[in-house]
Amino acid sequence: MSCIPVSISKNELKDLYEKKKLTTYEIADIYYCYQGTIWKRLEEYGIKRLPNGRRSFVISKSKLKDLYIKQRLSSRRIAKIYGCAYSTIDYKIREYGFPVKTLAAAHITTLRKNFDGNKTNKAYLIGFAMGDLRVRKVWPNSETILIDCSSSKIEQIDLISKLFKPYGKVWIKKQPNRTGYVQIECAVNFSFEFLLKKRVLADRWILENKKYFTAFLAGFTDAEGCISINKLGQAFYSLGNYNFRLLRQIHNKLIKLGIHCTKLIEAKTKGRRFGKESHIHNQNYWHFSIHRKLSLLKFFDLVGSYLRHVAKIKAVERAEQNIEMRNKKFGNINMNL
């Protein structure tokens, strides 16, 4: 600590001590001197000592709760608004019995909402995440779960934003990268911890309940599925991924539900680069399809109400119209099997 004489005017000291409610210790820190030096200056200038600088600062409990709890402002930000030391705000936070934020929580500036716990929505999000999302904690002590994805499809970016924006902060890169992909990142709280689990297969509670399995499959379809019309003018559904075990699990479940699927087909993609993609595939790609009209209609009836991807919903409508058109043109062939 320096022993150089402190140069502080009476007006400066009155402003810091009486208006901004700084303690003598805090003022001493500003001028890099001993606390006793500040007491001495107060006496020299005839400034009346306050019994406790922090206690003389006035902010109502409801107001502090609004700023600190509801608006999630830091004590430093609140102190800046009121023109006082942040330690004074910290004192009031403890005095009113509000929970003191951890360092990680103090850096969270946006209001976050807990996941509602609905198991159908949970199953959908798990399916979607297994298909198209990266979910992680940046730091071990972080209180934020980051969910991100890059896609060349604007409908996919819009869907991810709608899924997580009600619960936290969503950031979307304004410009696509050189390969045409747009990056989106969502920051949510730990009520989404269920997405951190590294799954290879769907959870048992999902597989054993038709409703939850349907929601899960809808989420996975919104991420990885294809519903279209082939070159022969026939509607089809296709689902592909590198995760053979998960596709086999879904494939077998659909067969049990009376939906005919083709066999799982392996595409030799390992070590190859496709199109404008900058990365080389490190696994082979697997997929299966549904082509039979009756099975397609059963499948659409199963997952249709759970789909959230705008393009996929429209594709289902086109596929159903295609089947109706073919039935009118060629008759209801194989529709009763």
Q: Which of 1-15, 32-46, 111-125 has the highest mean pLDDT?
A: 111-125
Which strand (E) or helix (H) includes residue 252? Answer: helix 244-256
3-state class (DSSP) for residue 148: strand
Same fold, 119-195 and 204-330: yes
CB 253 within 8 A of CB 207: yes
CB 33 within 8 A of CB 6: yes
* Nearest of 229, 235, 237, 230 to residue 254 by alpha carbon: 237
More confident position, 167 or 1: 167
| Residue pointed to by tokens 């082939």 | 230
More confident position, 302 or 76: 302
CATH 3.30.70.260 fits 204-330, yes or no: no
3-state class (DSSP) for residue 47: coil
Per-residue pLDDT, 4: 45
Per-residue pLDDT, 63: 86
Per-residue pLDDT, 298: 96
Radius of gyration of the chain (CA): 31
**Mean of pLDDT values over 233-240:** 96
**Mean of pLDDT values over 5-29:** 80
CB 277 within 8 A of CB 317: no
**Assessment of whether the complete model's pTM goes beyond 0.75:** no
Q: Who contacts 277 (Cβ-Cβ below 8 Å, separation ≥6)?
A: 179
CA distances from 243 to 127, 130, 225 (A): 13, 9, 14
Q: In the chain, what are the domain boundaries?
A: 10-106, 119-195, 204-330
Distance CA 127, CA 133 (A): 10
**Mean of pLDDT values over 109-114:** 70
| Residue pointed to by tokens 């950031």 | 171
Domain 119-195: CATH superfamily, name plus number: Homing endonucleases (3.10.28.10)
- For the chain, count helices (H), then strands (E): 15, 8
**Mean of pLDDT values over 26-55:** 77
Q: What are phi and psi of 15, to 5 degrees?
A: -65, -45
* Nearest of 217, 238, 228 to residue 290 by alpha carbon: 238
